[in-house]
Amino acid sequence: MSEVTQHPHNQTADFNYDEAVAAFTAPESSVDGVTVGKVLKDNAPHDVSQEHQWQWAKEHFGMVSPLNRRKFRVLIIGTGLAGGAAAAALGELGYDVKVFTYHDSPRRAHSIAAQGGVNSSRGKKLDNDSTYLHTKDTVKGGDYRCRENDCWRLAMESPKVIDHMNAIGAPFSREYGGTLATRSFGGVQVSRTYYTRGQTGQQLQLATTSALYRQIGAGNVEIFTHNELVDLVVNDDGVCEGAVMRNLITGELKVHTGHATVLATGGYGNVYHMSTLAKNSNASAIMRAYDRGAYLASPSFVQFHPTGLPVNSDWQSKTILMSESLRNDGRIWTPKKKGDDRDPKDIPEDERDYFLERRYPAFGNLVPRDIASRANAQQINAGYGVGPKKNSVYLDLGDAINRLGKDTIRERYGNLIQMYEEAIGENAYETPMRIAPTCHYTMGGLWTDFNEMTSVPGLFCSGESSWMYHGANRLGANSLLSSSVEGWFTLPFTVPNYLAPLLGTPVPDPESPQAKAALDRAQARIDRLMNIRGDNPHGPEYYHRQLGEILYFSCGVARNVE
């Protein structure tokens, strides 16, 4: 096979591609360690300090001229904050984008359930916040298991996220004078979290969906609703060329091909059965990529949120999240006496154990999530749990109501308090909330390089389905940020960098042997499941619960070497 016809992304780093002459040429320089479109160990520039790597990379990325962009097709699986933003951005740039959603509308993506806020070091205020401090907090909060150049990018691009979301319609909360309001989340000592009351994910998702629909209306993006990824098309050179999608209404399987494919399909928290994720957040797309050779990274890193609502029924299907923002004004405590069944209002102050404030005086109730969750679980397991099942601790807004007034607390958390009352049947203005640790977010996922490409060339991954940024523990309000940074401000640079050497390459053939093999493989899997004719009285939900409980108790909130 000649140099010119061989797939550019399987060339060694000794070759570069010049769009102007449509040929491979010797690279101009090799000291940086990055060649356009190549999949390297990390694909980050060498000999460039970590805080400058992203800016350096953008300045040296391969580019596609506006007249050539329509020649490239990009498939995006998922329309949450990461996938929807990437589809809208690449569509606006002029690429031929096909986007697929599991739902009847992009606005139903699970990003809409996020509540608390989105971090940004945009407004320095008086607390001396900075890009460095944001990066430091992210790395430290991740137990120093983050890839630091990714964290620098996250912090550097964060001001753009706030400005962009504000521009496309996200109604951020404001101070009386009109400036954007901020609050603190766990693991930090500054106020950098921008929010829209307790509905930040919803408002960012609606703004992103509006931008996406604008591109759909303009003909730049084609959307396929009620479609699920069931397999990936990978050619003989190991390059991803598309996906096999199943129409959830008709059951039809169809191959869609493209020059690049982006997975933005969410995390795998539902393996624990009880989690804050919707039941259709099943992470099957991640496993299809893994089956085709994509690496997983840090799959054991799972976050248990400290302020979930306790399980009240043996057949409850999911847990409900109370935003971490409540920890700004709520104090977490348990009775000092084990098995104390008194009404919390009847327990005097000197008989309450504000255990987070006692153990971690510097951060108090705003310790990082993993620390708060473990501390909550330790109190419950030691016999200090409260509520009918003794499986929760108190989050008390009483002091804040006395100090600030009920109207101020209602303005800040009114929708959360209403949600709590509907779920639990108690008035949080009058009696403390009951909260418990619950599976919430997966820091692990598909491994990606600095350009968000997986170990399968042509297959990118974004959002919670990726492993980037968060290490062993995600800081609160960094999830909406990471999805927004990836969708709006990373993939629109890295995907064109991958596509630049492919100019002149046609869209892969949906009738190729590899595409047909993927289609047959998907159909065979479905047939095998549908042809099972057992007499087992238990359905899948029974085994999901049993396996999830085993995982929760064996690999849950707190773990040891055993």
**Catalytically active residues, by annotation:** 369
Write out 494-559 in H/E/C secondary structure: HHHHHHHHHCCCCCCCCCCHHHHHHHHHHHHHHHHHHCCCCCCCCCHHHHHHHHHHHHHHHCCCCC
DSSP state of 310: P
Does the CA dihedral 135-138-141-147 come out positive or negative? Answer: negative
Structure tokens at 498: 């991958």
Structure tokens at 463: 């959002």
Helix axes 478-489, 200-217, angle to 10 degrees: 20
Specify the pairing of strand 193-194 against strand 182-183. Answer: antiparallel
Residue 258 · residue 98 · CB < 8 Å: yes
Report the 10 Å Cβ neighbour count for 349: 8
DSSP state of 348: -
Q: Strand pairing partners for 233?
A: 242
Helix axes 81-93, 200-217, angle to 10 degrees: 30
Residue 24 · residue 15 · CB < 8 Å: yes
Q: Would you mind telling me the total number of residues written for the chain in this entry?
A: 562
Angle at 140 between CA 437 and CA 136, to 5 degrees: 130
Report the 10 Å Cβ neighbour count for 62: 20
Residue 309 · residue 423 · CB < 8 Å: yes
Residue 99 · residue 76 · CB < 8 Å: yes
Cα diameter, the chain: 82
Determine the 3-state secondary structure of 114 from DSSP.
coil
Return d(Cα 359, Cα 540) in angstroms, integer: 42
User: CA of 132: how far to CAs of 57, 74, 137, 139, in Å?
Assistant: 19, 34, 9, 11
Return d(Cα 211, Cα 207) in angstroms, integer: 6
Return d(Cα 111, Cα 85) in angstroms, integer: 12
Number of helices followed by number of strands (H, E) in the chain: 14, 20
Return d(Cα 460, Cα 124) in angstroms, integer: 34
Structure tokens at 90: 């690449």
Residues 124-142: b if buried by 16+ CB within 10 A, e if exposed: eeeeebebebbbebbbbbb
Structure tokens at 243: 């996906």
Q: Indicate the helix (H) or strand (E) that contains 402.
A: helix 398-404
Tell me the residue type at 431: T
